A = this chain, B = another copy of it.
Amino acid sequence: MTASPSRFDPEALAEGVLAGSPALLGRAITLIESNAARDQEPARRLVSRLLPHSGNSVRIGITGVPGVGKSSFIEAFGSRLCEKGLRVAVLAIDPSSTLSKGSVMGDKTRMEKLSGHENAFVRPSPSGGTLGGVARKSRETMIACEAAGYDVLLIETVGVGQSETTVRSMVDVFLLLLITGAGDDLQGIKRGIMELADLLVVTKDDGDNHRRALAHRQELRMVLHYLQSPTPGWKPEVLTCSSLEGTGLDEIERRIDAFRVQQQGNGHWFRRRRAQSLDWVRSLVHEALISSFESHPDVASHLPELEQSVGAGRLDPVSAARRILDCFTYPFVGR
């Protein structure tokens, strides 16, 4: 079976992206995001061609529970950067969007001002199904945006599955947005997420909320004292802002810049990026190994029964693991 030829010409797209054409960048990303078999090889060629021109942006991850004001923050913060002459690309990692039709940027009009700015490129979440698939496409989309000359990448995610860990593994600096309030509001904070963040930002620090935002900041500062920083040499900070009034945004920009200067100075910035790439290779390889193992017919047919025996306490896990592994290696060993 031969795949029909791709609609895309990767060489022409690469040239257009490198020339900074937003229209061709959009088309390049459509190729990257394509699930069609015929598009896989052109997409690979496109990414290879763009790769040497990537790496020159500041990659900023942004997360926070629904309702925290991520879209408003990105709209306000991104617009401010654009007005200063920076070119800003906004991406999203949201494996849930194909199911729920998305809380992340499902509605592009929420970023009306930013989307309309000539320095901005706003791309909604790719429809990719699994987190792994979405993440792969998003990483390649980042390469394309960087090759197109964007200075800042804002990568947004909601707390679905492991999506924050995934985003943390592809960015330079990670922001956790939090809302003012106490008690039940905090239940949305996922396990381990506080320790992924370089900057915590208390949103909606405006009007009647101001006093509560400051109190919340104080509390969070104390909590941070007990948690480990995700970034060697950097002590996570708590800031507040109002996307509505535009306050606090300059300070956030300054702290991100201080982070960048410090991390580039101590060499960790590029060490982290190198480690991220290698981790990515490793996780791609491991995922492929495990998935080919689990889809092996003998494994697939024996696994449920063995798991049931282990679950019922009739079989110890070590023996179960050995029997499952025997299913897999037998066809090769037996030849």
Residues of A that sit less than 8 Å from B by CB: 44, 47-48, 51-52, 54-55, 136, 139-140, 143, 186, 189-192, 194-195, 219-220, 222-223, 225-228, 230, 274, 277-278, 280-281, 284-286, 288-290, 293, 306-307, 310-311, 313-321, 324-325, 332, 335
A281 engages B307 (CB within 8 Å) = yes
B192 engages A285 (CB within 8 Å) = no
Task: Please judge, given known A-B contacts A194-B227, A223-B226, whether A311 and B277 are in contact too, CB under 8 Å.
Answer: yes
B318 engages A136 (CB within 8 Å) = yes
Instruction: For the complex formed, measure the closest distance between the CB of A15 and the CB atoms of chain B, giving whole angstroms.
Output: 19
Given contacts A143-B316, A190-B228, 8 further A-B contacts (CB under 8 A): A55-B313, A189-B228, A191-B192, A191-B230, A280-B321, A281-B321, A285-B324, A289-B325
A284 engages B186 (CB within 8 Å) = no
A281 engages B324 (CB within 8 Å) = yes
> Which among B230, B280, B317 is the interface contact of A317 at CB below 8 angstroms?
B280
| Residues of B contacting A191 in the complex (Cβ-Cβ under 8 angstroms) | 192, 195, 227-228, 230
| Residues of B contacting A325 in the complex (Cβ-Cβ under 8 angstroms) | 285, 288-289
Q: Given the complex of chains A and B, what is the CA–CA distance between A325 and B289 in angstroms?
A: 8
Q: Given the complex of chains A and B, what is the CA–CA distance between A168 and B27 in angstroms?
A: 48
A318 engages B286 (CB within 8 Å) = no
The copy count of this chain in the complex is 2
**14 examples of A-B residue contacts, CB within 8 angstroms:** A47-B318, A48-B319, A143-B316, A189-B227, A191-B227, A277-B310, A278-B317, A280-B317, A280-B321, A281-B307, A281-B321, A284-B318, A285-B324, A288-B321
A278 engages B307 (CB within 8 Å) = yes
| Residues of B contacting A228 in the complex (Cβ-Cβ under 8 angstroms) | 189-192
Q: Given the complex of chains A and B, what is the CA–CA distance between A325 and B293 in angstroms?
A: 13
| Residues of B contacting A186 in the complex (Cβ-Cβ under 8 angstroms) | 225-226
| Residues of B contacting A290 in the complex (Cβ-Cβ under 8 angstroms) | 286, 289
Q: Given the complex of chains A and B, what is the CA–CA distance between A286 and B286 in angstroms?
A: 8
A293 engages B285 (CB within 8 Å) = yes
Task: Please judge, given known A-B contacts A186-B226, A223-B226, whether A310 and B332 are in contact too, CB under 8 Å.
Answer: no
B321 engages A284 (CB within 8 Å) = yes
Task: Please judge, given known A-B contacts A48-B319, A186-B226, A189-B228, whether A293 and B289 are in contact too, CB under 8 Å.
Answer: yes
B278 engages A311 (CB within 8 Å) = yes
Instruction: For the complex formed, measure the closest distance between the CB of A30 and the CB atoms of chain B, giving whole angstroms.
Output: 18
Candidate in A140, A230, A321 with the most chain B CB atoms within 10 angstroms: A321
Candidate in A52, A306, A311, A314 with the most chain B CB atoms within 10 angstroms: A311
B194 engages A226 (CB within 8 Å) = yes
